Amino acid sequence: MPSLGGWELLILVGVLVLLFGAKKLPDTARAVGRSMRIFKAETKGMRQDEEQAPAAPEQPAAPQSLPPAQPAQPAPQATSAPSVPAAAPAPAPAQPRNDVKH
């Protein structure tokens, strides 16, 4: 990445003066400086949060106490099976029509 030389900086300053005007240029520079400070402070805070998060060891979840298991009881037997009608077979799919023009 090429660095900016003297002429490039002069041209850049000239363009900025033309865009913002000589009176607004100091205010604009102050606003940009404040924004950069805020941005740096926020990124620094995020880095510190990330560094502190792994420092706290995660404690495994305590096992929940379950009631004692009871022996399985057999399901009651039905004396007569309910009558269920047999399902009718599904109808065959309709054949596509060949007389449709595209």
pLDDT tens-digit map of 26-80: 888 899 999 999 999 999 999 988 888 765 555 656 666 666 666 666 666 656 5
**What does the pLDDT read at residue 23?**
86
> Is 70 or 5 the better-scoring residue by pLDDT?
5
**What does the pLDDT read at residue 52?**
82
Rounded average pLDDT over 4-17: 88
Report the C-alpha dihedral over residues 85, 87, 89, 90, rounded to 10 degrees.
140
What is the pTM (predicted TM-score) of this model? Answer: 0.38
**What does the pLDDT read at residue 88?**
62
**What does the pLDDT read at residue 44?**
94
Here the tokens at position 78 are 């039905």
Backbone angles phi, psi at 58, to 5 degrees: -80, 130
